[in-house]
Amino acid sequence: MAQDSTNIKETIGALDDYVLLGRSGLRISPLCLGTLTFGEASGLFSKVGSNNEESKKVFDYYYEKGGNFFVDTFRKLKNDTDTIKQKLISDQ
């Protein structure tokens, strides 16, 4: 059974304690940053998204702590998450 912890370092270690991604040789953070809610959505998910400023705060904190693994595979949401993510990554 998983142990409940409020201290993320106790649960997964530091974000810069990278792990290998399969046999690819890529070293990634042990915790992925989901970016689905980056950008204000419309329609069914209109109450879920975060604006550019809040998205930047989340991204910057994750990146400063050593995070390097981002994902967003949900394509039916009508928001600008990919544009925001591209800008945040290129600004680093």
pLDDT over 50 (residue 18): yes
Burial of residue 58 (number of CB atoms within 10 Å: 0-12, 13-18, 19+):
middle
- The backbone torsions φ and ψ at residue 17, rounded to the nearest 5 degrees and listed phi first, read -90, 75
pLDDT tens digits along 21-60? 889 999 999 888 888 777 776 666 566 778 888 888 988 9
Q: What span, in angstroms and rounded, lies between the C-alpha atoms of 61 and 15?
A: 11
pTM metric for this prediction: 0.67
pLDDT over 70 (residue 72): no
Strands 27-28 vs 33-34: parallel, antiparallel or unpaired: unpaired
- The backbone torsions φ and ψ at residue 90, rounded to the nearest 5 degrees and listed phi first, read -70, -25
pLDDT band at residue 73 using 50, 70 and 90 as cut-offs: low
In terms of pLDDT, which residue wins out, 73 or 35? 35
Mean pLDDT of the chain: 76
Q: Where are the domains of the chain?
A: 8-90
